[in-house]
A and B are shown apart, each in its own frame.
Chain A
Amino acid sequence: MRQLQHVDIAVIGAGPAGLAAAAAARSAGAAVIIIERDDRAGGILNQCIHDGFGLQRFDCALTGGEYAHIDELACRDAGVELLTDTYVSSIERTESGFALHTMTTGLISVITAAAVILAMGCRERTAGAISLPGTRPAGIYTAGTAQRLTNMQNIMTGSRFLIIGSGDIGLIMARRVTLEGGSVAAVTEIQPYPGGLDRNIRQCLTDFSIPLYLETGIVEILGTDRVTGALIAPVGRDGLLDTTRSTHIPCDTILLSVGLIPENELTRSLDAVMDPVTGGPAVDEHLMTSVPGLFACGNVLQVHDVVDLVSQEAAHAGTCAAAYLRGERAEKRKTITLQAGEGIRYVLPQSMSAQGSTLLSCRVRKPMEDVTIQIRSGSELIYRQQLPYVQPSEMIQIPLDLSETAADTSVEVHCVRT
């Protein structure tokens, strides 16, 4: 039977972003439903059985599951409806908002909503995406998939591992498989600096004597039926792998931790303007996309490194979505674009209204010491902050208030040596 249900706000995804957005929107008075394709709320946090979540928000180190549970309870207490095992297969705009087509075992239905908050998270980059050369035998997994198999399905994917890429998930999995009796031959990283957080390098590699080879890539994966090893080589002067210096690493499993891609197929289907650098939609200071009533937060908007910031961002999206429904749109002011300047890879939000304020997020292009973050509008310096060290793996957040400035077309963020 086909059901039709109407809500004020539909949130897609019940990870930490979806949960925090829903709770905030509900407490601002909106009727909210969260739609989650997995059999429980929590998103990626359910497979994160290690601790370290909530250090900023709760001042204590929770596991991923514990962190998510707090938000799930908050949602239930506030009266948010949570639909699990339900997949949003497509979404379209209607006269009064949006129609979401959903699928559940035994049921397909349509949910209509005046506003939608996207919180679908991200997926992992694959072997094809990084052009991993060689054969394609059994035993090659992305680190997050291996994490799910290990922590949720009781399945050890291999015994001797090589981890390609030094993203946080790969680092955490290096420690995890070691604790389960596996061995990790090495973690390789093509860049001259690691992709994950410093604390993960220390706690997951150094403490377990797992070598990290920087500026090292994969020449070839070996093995026809199951992985038997890999040839790795350092990056030479010309930027290509120097195969004359290649080393053979015997292993039966390869884990890839080479980046995350925001999962925006639904967003694209609504023709929202996308930011090619973040991989997410472009948003304003209310975290609203170019489609009126469509908001985004969490990893679907920009890949985050710590969940505490996800929750903070998502709560803002929830509050703004509820305000949007009440018709509280700031009177139409000029729109200012925010741009990444020297040393900066991206800035979010991509636009805001003149005289408005926002919490701006940005990432630098490469690690640097003794820098100054400058925000400029033309020749006017609006904001400056000195930092001893910055790196791409750590997001920088800056409260930006334009009410006292004359900025009226664009604002650029720069990261320069002090």
Chain B
Amino acid sequence: MNYFGLFRAIVCVYDTSMKHVDVIIIGAGIIGCAAARELSRYQISVAVLEKEYDTGFGTSSRNSGVVHSGIHYRSGTLRAIHAVRGNHMMQQLCEQLQVPFKPTGKLTVAFDRSQCEELKVLKAQGEANGVPGLEIIDVERMQRLQPGISGIQALYSPSTAIISPYELTIACAESAHHNGVEFHFGHTVSAIDRAEDGFIVHDAEGLCPIHAAIVINAAGLYADSIAQMAGIQGITIYPCKGEYYVLDKRLGDQLDVLIYPVPGHHSSGLGIHLTQTVDGNILIGPSTAYSDSKEHTGTTSEILRALRAAGHTLLPTLSEGDFIRTFAGLRPKLNPPEVGGFGDFILEDHDRFILLAGIESPGLTAAPSLALEIVALVRSHLSLVEKQHWSGTLPARERFLELPLDRQQQLVEQDPDHGSIVCRCEGITKAEVLQAVDRIIGPVTYTGIKLRCRSMMGRCQGGFCIPRIAQLLEEERGITMDQQQLKGPGSPMYHRHLRPEESTS
């Protein structure tokens, strides 16, 4: 502990008002939020500490959104066990939380004889892991599943699906919050002191230390620093970047099933491919390149060029106007660049400090299952009594333009704002944007609105709706122009008014 940390610890000892909770979860990604929701079933107090200003601003909103079947992971590893169980749990969880889930199935395609051998190995491994319904299929079946597909043989895994990773993360957090979990945003954990009956967790912002009986490290890329704060040495996370393009929805209906190449033995990703999203866009990516920054999710011109080229080969009807956005995510790898490949997940209990590390793919898939495992570890220290009134479901969120006419009619009569379009590309109404604003647990940000209702996510990328949202936040929710932020304090959207407000209008 540094001098400042010691000072703070002393201050806290005398501060009788120091906050206490039973469990602190560090990190509001899918792992932290899924665990928070599972723990919210019990009569304990839980706080989630997150350095960003919303849930899922880290890796959990920057991935392919595939619910993997579990064929790719060596039998007996945590990745294999939790991917298969997480996959099995996912559909029901999505139904409860009203998060779109699309069972697409997946084809891993072989182009030559040696790859056909690989398919057999993958199938055997998948079966050993308990993956249901695996079949090796011929060209004719492949064509039926995806007209126009190339390759000579494929492994079909029917349990592979797609979800919206950020919607799931947000919904888990919302469900946990409804059931009493506190969320503290803009709260960067900077030191952890072991106290007699637990831990004192400090923050970099100088807010207030919090005492907890149990700490769960779900800090993703920073799991190593957090582990070190708790006195656990020897863990290093190597960020490994995956860049993507998002394509216009126009092309979305060209893909029915997910199509992957046979992965190379030492590759650190599953190869550049096309992935459809639940909203009907297509992703090209992800690339694989180790990075030296855990914060830099910028894209690079060389990789974008390579992705564009790959896109044109994979989708011959692609035109230049179809590329609507780029993004990148960082895989929290345990294997250094010189080793490559994938390490296994770490999930360990260090005397009430629960350590998760190396939760890279299939971390999203595994999240519901890892959450159960985390609860089991918590139970070994705390008695967990179920709450009498726990509700694990969220109300349905309707997309106005996708509803039948009579339902639209009904909604417009209830709330006239349903008739007013704010986002033309995705067809999002004023009522939907305001609902998104009101669902936000922490500060209202443009990114938070975007991840909750898709406004600003379409082909014009906010060109049309940003001015309208600026006005709506000010007029309907009293958030003035100078308080409007992209993703939290420090990211102001606008600079100033041109003229003093009263002289206009």
Q: Which residues of A contact B (CB under 8 A)?
A: 2, 37, 85, 87, 89, 103-108, 123-129, 131-138, 141-142, 144-145, 148-150, 152-159, 180, 219-221, 224-226, 241, 252-253, 261, 268, 276, 279
Q: Given A128-B323, A129-B323, A224-B295, decide whether A158 and B495 contact each other with a Cβ distance below 8 A.
A: yes
Count chain B CB atoms within 10 A of each CB in A133, A144, A155, A253 and give the residue with the most: A155
Contacts of B297 in A (CB 8 A): 135
Do residues B325 and A241 form an inter-chain contact, with CB atoms below 8 A? Answer: no
Count chain B CB atoms within 10 A of each CB in A108, A123, A128, A134 and give the residue with the most: A128
Contacts of A226 in B (CB 8 A): 486, 490-492
B304 at the interface (CB under 8 A from A): yes
Do residues A138 and B495 form an inter-chain contact, with CB atoms below 8 A? Answer: no
What are 30 A-B contacts with C-beta separation under 8 Å?
Answer: A37-B421, A85-B420, A87-B424, A103-B420, A103-B421, A105-B416, A105-B419, A105-B420, A106-B413, A108-B405, A123-B464, A126-B461, A128-B246, A128-B325, A133-B298, A133-B299, A133-B300, A137-B486, A138-B485, A138-B492, A141-B466, A145-B463, A145-B467, A152-B467, A154-B498, A154-B501, A156-B495, A224-B295, A224-B296, A276-B319
Do residues A136 and B490 form an inter-chain contact, with CB atoms below 8 A? Answer: no
Do residues A126 and B460 form an inter-chain contact, with CB atoms below 8 A? Answer: yes
Do residues B463 and A221 form an inter-chain contact, with CB atoms below 8 A? Answer: no
Q: Chain B: interface secondary structure? A: mixed
Bound Cα distance from A131 to B409, whole angstroms: 41
Do residues A153 and B421 form an inter-chain contact, with CB atoms below 8 A? Answer: no
Contacts of A241 in B (CB 8 A): 301
Bound Cα distance from A88 to B14, whole angstroms: 65
Contact of B463 among A37, A126, A155, A279 (CB under 8 A): A126
Bound Cα distance from A252 to B495, whole angstroms: 9
B133 at the interface (CB under 8 A from A): no
Count chain A CB atoms within 10 A of each CB in B459, B461, B488, B504 and give the residue with the most: B461
Do residues B401 and A221 form an inter-chain contact, with CB atoms below 8 A? Answer: no
B496 at the interface (CB under 8 A from A): yes
Do residues B491 and A137 form an inter-chain contact, with CB atoms below 8 A? Answer: yes
B308 at the interface (CB under 8 A from A): yes
B117 at the interface (CB under 8 A from A): no
Do residues A128 and B326 form an inter-chain contact, with CB atoms below 8 A? Answer: yes
Bound Cα distance from A89 to B421, whole angstroms: 9
B188 vs chain A, min Cβ distance (A):
14
Do residues B497 and A154 form an inter-chain contact, with CB atoms below 8 A? Answer: yes
Contacts of A125 in B (CB 8 A): 321
B359 vs chain A, min Cβ distance (A):
23
Bound Cα distance from A85 to B427, whole angstroms: 15
Bound Cα distance from A134 to B328, whole angstroms: 10
Bound Cα distance from A128 to B246, whole angstroms: 8
Contacts of A108 in B (CB 8 A): 405, 408-409, 412, 419
Q: Which residues of B contact A (CB under 8 A)?
A: 245-246, 250, 295-301, 304-305, 308, 319-321, 323-327, 401, 405, 408-409, 412-413, 416-417, 419-421, 424, 427, 429-430, 446, 459-464, 466-467, 470-471, 481, 485-488, 490-499, 501, 504
Contacts of B320 in A (CB 8 A): 129
Do residues A155 and B497 form an inter-chain contact, with CB atoms below 8 A? Answer: yes
| Chain B residue nearest to A142 in the complex (CB) | B463
Do residues B463 and A129 form an inter-chain contact, with CB atoms below 8 A? Answer: no
Q: Given A89-B401, A89-B427, A153-B471, decide whether A128 and B461 contact each other with a Cβ distance below 8 A.
A: yes
Do residues B470 and A159 form an inter-chain contact, with CB atoms below 8 A? Answer: no
Contacts of A131 in B (CB 8 A): 299, 301, 304-305, 308, 323, 326
Bound Cα distance from A133 to B494, whole angstroms: 22
A367 vs chain B, min Cβ distance (A):
22
Contacts of A148 in B (CB 8 A): 467
Contacts of A279 in B (CB 8 A): 321
Do residues B470 and A153 form an inter-chain contact, with CB atoms below 8 A? Answer: yes
Contact of B466 among A145, A156, A220 (CB under 8 A): A145
Bound Cα distance from A132 to B327, whole angstroms: 11
Count chain A CB atoms within 10 A of each CB in B408, B463, B491, B496 and give the residue with the most: B463
Bound Cα distance from A248 to B499, whole angstroms: 32
| Chain B residue nearest to A147 in the complex (CB) | B467
Contact of B420 among A104, A136, A138 (CB under 8 A): A104
Contact of A154 among B324, B413, B488, B499 (CB under 8 A): B499
Contact of A145 among B409, B419, B462, B490 (CB under 8 A): B462
Bound Cα distance from A156 to B304, whole angstroms: 32
Contact of B467 among A87, A126, A153 (CB under 8 A): A153
Q: Given A131-B304, A137-B491, A221-B298, decide whether A2 and B421 contact each other with a Cβ distance below 8 A.
A: no
Count chain B CB atoms within 10 A of each CB in A127, A136, A137 and give the residue with the most: A136
Contacts of B324 in A (CB 8 A): 126, 128-129
Q: Given A2-B409, A133-B298, A220-B298, decide whether A261 and B416 contact each other with a Cβ distance below 8 A.
A: no
Bound Cα distance from A142 to B463, whole angstroms: 7
Do residues A180 and B498 form an inter-chain contact, with CB atoms below 8 A? Answer: yes
- Going nearest first, the 7 A-B pairs with the smallest beta carbon separation are A106-B416, A138-B486, A128-B325, A225-B491, A135-B298, A225-B490, A126-B461
B91 vs chain A, min Cβ distance (A):
31
| Chain A residue nearest to B300 in the complex (CB) | A133
Bound Cα distance from A137 to B297, whole angstroms: 10
Contacts of B424 in A (CB 8 A): 37, 87
| Chain A residue nearest to B295 in the complex (CB) | A224
B483 vs chain A, min Cβ distance (A):
13
